[in-house]
Structure 1
Amino acid sequence: MITKEYTILAPEGIHARPATTLVKLVKKFKSTISLKTGAKTIALNSVLNILALATKGGDQIGIIIDGEDEQEAAEAIDTFFKEHLPYS
């Protein structure tokens, strides 16, 4: 299992466009991939799941990846955040 932490710097947080891109990305992997913010954890398999979290700028999120291709998934998710959402 791999856990990654990100602080979202984009003022609008994770909105529809990056959420759609993220869901398309994680569907390429066999691993189970979840997003955690505060006390809520959701499966990264639905744009509506992501939007329901109402993540905004300054929020800290965690990505949990578990499965046979978790290393490749973690690298792809890092690339996603670098290219689509400013984070620290």
Structure 2
Amino acid sequence: MPQRIVNVASRVGLHARPAAVFVKAASAAALPVTIAKEGKEPVSARSILAVLGLDVRGGEEVVLEADGDGAENVLEDLARLLTEDLEG
């Protein structure tokens, strides 16, 4: 299963606005994507509550995984998004 390891660039991590932007992009993907942080089980990247529950802080690494046609492209797009400052 393709995956990407990404450092979250937003200073506040995946909280509030950055989480909402990420979840919206993941929800628009044609296939399911999971996101995980070290020590926690992978969760659906389409669930705002699950993403917020990971408590990802700025600078921490997350692992994105997807499977299916176009998974590499979806992961690249989402990884690129997380390397941007999504706070404002």
TM-score w.r.t. length of structure 1: 0.80
Distance in 2 (CA, whole Å) between partners of 1:23 and 1:58 is 18
| 8 A Cα contact 1:16 1:47, kept in partner | no
CA contact (8 A) 1:6 1:61 kept: yes
Q: What CA distance in whole angstroms lies between the structure 2 residues aligned with 1:29 and 1:69?
A: 9
Letter in 1 for 2:85: H
Distance in 2, matches of 1:80 and 1:9, equals 9
Which residue number corresponds to residue 7 of structure 2? 7
Aligned length: 85
For residue 26 of structure 1, report the CA deviation from its aligned partner.
1.2
AA partner of residue 68 (structure 1): D
Between stretches 55-64 and 76-85, larger displacement belongs to 76-85
CA 1:26–1:10 in 2, change beyond 3 Å: closer, same or farther?
closer
Moved more, 44-53 or 75-84: 75-84
Report deviation, 1:82: 3.1
The one-letter code matched in structure 1 to 2:7 is T
Q: Give the deviation of 1:3 after TM superposition.
A: 0.7
What is the CA deviation profile of residues 31-54 of structure 1, one whole-angstrom value per residue up to 9, with x for unaligned ones? 220001123210111111111111
CA RMSD of aligned residues (A): 1.8
- Give % identity: 24
Name structure 2 gaps, 5 residues minimum: none
Counterpart for residue 30 of structure 1: 30
Could you say what secondary structure the match of 2:3 adopts?
A: strand
SS state of the match for residue 42, structure 2?
Answer: strand
| Deviation string, structure 1 residues 55-75 (Cα, Å, up to 9, x no partner) | 113422101111212122022
Q: Unpaired runs of 5+ in structure 1? A: none
